[in-house]
Amino acid sequence: MGRAPRKATGAQTRDRILDMACSLFNERGFAQVATRSIADAVGINEGNLYYYFKTKEAIALALFDRVDARATVLLGDETAAHEGLAAYADLLAQWFAMNWSYRFLFRDIDGLSFAAPALRLPLRRLSTRTHRTMQRRVDALRNENMLSLTDIQRDHLLTNVWIVGSYWMNYLTLHRGVSRIRQEHMAWGLAQIRSLYEPYLTADAQLLIAVLLENGEAAATIMARYNQLIVSH
C-alpha cells in the first residue's frame, strides 16, 4: 500500500508562493500579475495566499529579502582583502546573475517604487552598500596598478556602472525594441559594464587579461561561473 502524499509545511508553501511570484513578476512584470494568478499557479486558493502575504507588496518585500541575503554574501565583508582583477570580474558576473534571477526588481524599479513604496528605503540601502563595496574593489585595483584613474574619475565610473547595471534592461526594451529580455541578453549587459572600465585599464591589467585569454582561463572561467549561477538560481 503506497504512502499518502506528504502535505506541504507552511514554510514550504510560503517558499512556493515566493518562487512562483518571482517567476511571474519576471515574466509579465510586477504590475501585470494579480495575487489570484499567483495563487492559481501555486495551486492554492487566494484566501490561503493571504494567510501568508496580505498584499502583493508584502510578496515583493519578501523577495527583496532574498535578494538582500544573496547580496550580503556576494558583497562580503567590506574590510576583507581584495582578490584581484579576475575576482572583480567574477563579482560582476555574479551580480548580473542575481539581476537575472530577480530581474523584475531591477527592470521595473521605477514602477515598483510607486506600487510598493515600502521597497524604496531597502533598495536605497542596498544601493549604498553596493556602491561602497564597488568603490573598495576599484580602489584596491588601483593600488594594484590594474586601474589608473583619479578619485573624480572613479566616482564617475561607479555612478555610470550603477546606472548601466540598473537600467540596461530598460534600454533594450525602450531603444532596441526587445519585447522580452532573455538570458542571452546578459552577455550584452556585461559587455556594456566592461566597456566602462576599459579606458582605465593599465598596461599591467591589459597584459594580465591577454595572458589569461591566451591560456583560455578568463572568459571560460568567468562564463562557466556565470552559467553555474544562472542554472542554480
Q: Is 66 helix (H, G, I), strand (E, B) or coil?
A: helix
CATH label of the domain that carries residue 4: 1.10.10.60
Same domain as 221, residue 194 = yes
Q: What per-residue confidence (pLDDT) applies to 183?
A: 77
Extract the C-alpha cell encoding 66.
532574498
Q: What per-residue confidence (pLDDT) applies to 78?
A: 55
155 is a domain residue: yes
Q: What is the mean pLDDT of residues 82-91?
A: 76
59 is a domain residue: no
CATH label of the domain that carries residue 215: 1.10.357.10
Q: What is the mean pLDDT of residues 165-182?
A: 85
Q: Which residue has the higher pLDDT, 217 or 126?
A: 126
**pLDDT digits over 49-67, tens only?**
999 999 999 999 999 999 9
Q: Among 118, 134, 132, which residue's Cα sits nearest to residue 61?
A: 118
Distances (CA, A) of 70 to 29, 54, 99, 185, 202: 22, 25, 11, 22, 32
Same domain as 83, residue 41 = no
Same domain as 200, residue 153 = yes
Same domain as 18, residue 69 = no
Same domain as 47, residue 69 = no
Burial class (CB in 10 A: 0-12, 13-18, 19+), 169: buried
d(CA 10, CA 49): 11
153 is a domain residue: yes
Q: Which domain holds residue 17?
A: 1-54
Q: What per-residue confidence (pLDDT) applies to 1?
A: 43
Residue 31 above 60 pLDDT? yes
Q: What per-residue confidence (pLDDT) applies to 59?
A: 96
Question: Considering only 1-10, 116-125, 144-153, which range has the smallest mean pLDDT?
Answer: 1-10
Q: Among 231, 188, 184, 229, which residue's Cα sits nearest to residue 70?
A: 229
60 is a domain residue: no
Same domain as 100, residue 32 = no
pTM for this structure? 0.79
**Domain boundary residue among 25, 54, 83?**
54
Q: What is the mean pLDDT of residues 158-180?
A: 87
Same domain as 101, residue 50 = no
Same domain as 223, residue 169 = yes
Q: State how many domains the chain has.
A: 2
d(CA 143, CA 125): 27
